[in-house]
Structure 1
C-alpha cells in the first residue's frame, strides 16, 4: 500500500499516493456515532453536531433521517459544561458505562478546538468498543490558517502531499483557493 495510489470517494478518480501507514490495534465497535465541532458564524458561537448514526456518510444520514442529527450551541465565553457534554453523550446510544467516557472525550475535543484554533473537528465514527471504551476511529481536523503563527506545532504536522496542489500553491501566495 505504501507509495501506491489509493482511490477512494474522498480522493476522487485521480487518487492520492499513500505516504504513511499507521498500524494500530484492532477494536470492534459496539456503537458508532458522529461528532463534529465547528464555528457557527451566524450565531457567533461554536456548534457541536452529533448523531447516534455514525460510521457512515453524514450527508446521507441528513437526507434519510434528519432527526438523527442534533445541534448544540456552545457559548464562546462559557465553553462546554459538564451537563452539556453529558447531554450530548447520552444521545449517542452508548451503554451506561460508556456515556461518562464519551462526555469526557467531548470536553477534551472541545478543549483542542479552542486551544489549537481549530475551524473543524469531525470524528466519524466516535465508537464505543465492546470493552466500553470510547475511541475516535477516524477524524478530520482543520485549523485556522490565520493562527499559524500561534500554532507552530500544529502546522508543522501539515502533509502537503495529501492536499490539493492548486490549494497548496495558492496558500504560498497568501490566497485561498477552493477547487
Structure 2
C-alpha cells in the first residue's frame, strides 16, 4: 500500500526521524492559512508547495491544464501560495512515473523551505531501504548525489551508489550506520546526526513493515541537522493485520478503479495492455496462461487470480471487471480443480453469463482436475456461447481462433 508524502512523514515522526515540517491541505484558502502558520514559526517568507500523488518526479512534472506549473514550487508570499494552489489542486499532474495519463491532485503539502542557508552550505543525499531478493537481506542504498536526477546518477555513474546489507533477523549495527555516514563524507556533528537518522529510519522500515522506504533528498542543513525533505513509503499489504490504524491511510483515488473493485472481492487483478482477458486460479497457472496466450498470437489484457475458493460470485465479479476493458476481444478461463471442483466453477460461469447477459465476445473455458468431465458437460449443455476445453493445447487453439475472428 502506497501512502502520500505527508502521511509518510507523520509515520516517520513516530520513530524520531527528523522531517521537513508541513501542512497538507485540500483548497487554496487552507493553503494560505498553512503558509502563514509556517512563516510565523520559521521567520522566513519562503515555503514550498508540493502536489501529493503516488508518483515521483513531481518537480520535473507539469500540470496538464497549466503547463508552466510543475508539481513542486517555491513560494514567498500568500499570493504566490494561492496562485500555485489553484494551479495544482483539482488538476492533472504528469510526471515520468505517472505516464501520459497523469494523476489528479486532490491535496497539496505546504512545507517549510529547507534551503534558507544558501547553496554553499546545503547538501543533498539519497537513501532508500528495500529487500534485496537475491541476497535475501534488506539493503540500504545511498549516494552523495541526491535530488531529482538520482535516476541519471544510477544509470551514468553507478559507482556513486553505495549499499549496506542487513540480515532480516538483525537490527542495523552501529558500525553499519557509521559506515554510511563515513561514505557520505560527513564528519563532526553531521556524522553523529546521520548515524542516529539512519538507525531510526531503519527501525521505522522494520516497525512499519515497509516494502520500500525512500528519502530523496536527504538534507544536511547549515547547522548539520539531517532531515528527510521528501519521503516515498510502500507498506506491505500482507502485514496490514498488524497495523489496523494504517489502513485508513489508503487513498483509493490514487489506484486503478478496477483493481480497487477486484480487491473488494479478494481477487488479485492487474490490468495489462492486451486483447485477451484471463481468469485463472493460482498465480503460477496465471503466468503460464499469459505465456500460452502470447504463443497463440494474442496479448494478455490482465492478470486475474480468483484463488482456490472460486464460486459463482467471484467468477461473476471477475467477468464484470474483465469486460470493463474495451480492448478485450476474448476471455480465457483456465482453472485447475484441486481445492475447488471444476463443476462448481462451471456452474459459476454459467450463472455469471446469464446474469450479465449480452456478452458478445468469445469465452473459452479450460477446466482440468476434479470433476473436469462433468464441468465440460455442464457448459456444453448450457446452451450458452461458451467454448470448453480440457487440454491446454485445445484452449490455445480456441484462443487463436477467437483472435482471428473464426
Give the alignment's TM-score, normalised by structure 1. 0.89
Aligned-residue offset at 1:176: 5.1
Which residue is 1:177 aligned to?
270
Contact in 2 for aligned 1:31/1:94 (Cα 8 Å):
no
- Output the CA distance in 1 between the equivalents of 2:213 and 2:223: 25
Aligned-residue offset at 1:166: 4.3
Which residue is 1:66 aligned to?
158
Which residue is 1:6 aligned to?
93
Q: 1:48 and 1:178, CA in 2 relative to 1: closer, same or farther beyond 3 A?
A: farther
Which residue is 1:162 aligned to?
254
Number of matched pairs: 179
Instruction: Note the alpha carbon deviations across 1:29-72, whole angstroms, 9 max, x for none.
Output: 71111111011222221111111111034331122111100111
Give the alignment's TM-score, normalised by structure 2. 0.42
Q: 1:15 and 1:72, CA in 2 relative to 1: closer, same or farther beyond 3 A?
A: same
| CA-based RMSD | 1.9
Contact in 2 for aligned 1:116/1:154 (Cα 8 Å):
no
3-state SS of 2:184 partner: coil
Q: 1:54 aligns with which of 127, 139, 146?
A: 146
More moved, 89-98 vs 153-162 = 89-98
More moved, 37-46 vs 8-17 = 8-17
Q: 1:12 and 1:79, CA in 2 relative to 1: closer, same or farther beyond 3 A?
A: same
3-state SS of 1:56 partner: coil
- Output the CA distance in 1 between the equivalents of 2:138 and 2:100: 34
3-state SS of 2:200 partner: helix
Q: 1:26 aligns with which of 113, 137, 142?
A: 113
- Output the CA distance in 2 between the equivalents of 1:111 and 1:13: 37
- Output the CA distance in 2 between the equivalents of 1:125 and 1:169: 35
Q: 1:27 and 1:45, CA in 2 relative to 1: closer, same or farther beyond 3 A?
A: same
3-state SS of 2:152 partner: helix
3-state SS of 2:224 partner: coil
Q: 2:190 aligns with which of 64, 76, 98?
A: 98
More moved, 115-124 vs 89-98 = 89-98
3-state SS of 1:147 partner: helix
Note the residue ranges of structure 2 that are not aligned, 5 or more in a row: 1-87, 273-406
Aligned-residue offset at 1:90: 2.0
Larger Rg: 2
- Output the CA distance in 1 between the equivalents of 2:234 and 2:132: 15
| Structure with greater proportional helix content | 2
Note the residue ranges of structure 1 that are not aligned, 5 or more in a row: none
More moved, 20-29 vs 144-153 = 20-29
Does residue 126 of structure 1 match 2:213? no
Pick 1 or 2: higher relative contact order, CA cutoff 8 A, min separation 6: 1
